[in-house]
Amino acid sequence: MEKLKALIEKLAAGGVEFVVVGGYAAVAHGASLLTRDVDICCRFSVENLRRLVRTLDEFHPKHRMTPQKLPLELTDEFAARLKNLYLDTDLGVLDCLSEVLGVGDFDEVLRQSIEINTPSGKCRVLSRDALIRAKETMGRTQDKLAVIQLKAIQERLLADAAPRDR
């Protein structure tokens, strides 16, 4: 988990426009899940993808969905065609998405995110409500487990915030 945390901090420090989504976002909201990757939704502009490449360069990013595990190299033409980017790095697995099912494209994900503080600065995480919608839309077993925890956390927070009779 520490390497994944460092990966998020590096992206934030590198000025990459992104929102943490997926399992790591659930953990940020208090879920007790084990996650082995970081899922982000990011702006797939050439400029932002170049910042991503520069930020990750020292961590030897490779395309993890190709049998050859090719190093990440970015041309303007390649960047213009990308919708998602699945990487292995020295800090762990990073999945970069241009949209989140149940939520929408990067701009919508950004609108439905909250800001959190990290030791390296601030970054954005998908809001609990939006994350629940996304996880319900995905419907995999691990997503259903995350939804159960996220809803329990939400109910607890609402109960704690409710005025008490004295």
C-alpha distances in Å from residue 153, one per residue of 32, 66, 148: 11, 38, 9
Return the pLDDT at 162.
Answer: 79
Return the pLDDT at 67.
Answer: 82
Strands 37-42 and 92-97, sheet pairing:
parallel
Return the pLDDT at 79.
Answer: 83
Report yes or no: 131 and 113 within 8 Å, Cβ to Cβ.
no
Helix axis angle for 128-138 and 141-161, nearest 10°, is 150
Q: Which of 31, 14, 9, 15 lies closest to 116, judged by CA?
A: 9
pTM greater than 0.85 (yes/no): yes
Residues (pLDDT < 50) of the chain are none
Tens-digit pLDDT profile for residues 5-26: 899 999 999 999 999 999 989 9
Parse the chain into domains and list their residue ranges. Answer: 2-154
Return the pLDDT at 59.
Answer: 96
Residue 87, H or E segment: strand 84-89
Return the pLDDT at 35.
Answer: 84
Return the pLDDT at 85.
Answer: 94
Return the pLDDT at 133.
Answer: 97
If one looks up domain 2-154 in CATH, what number appears? 3.30.460.40
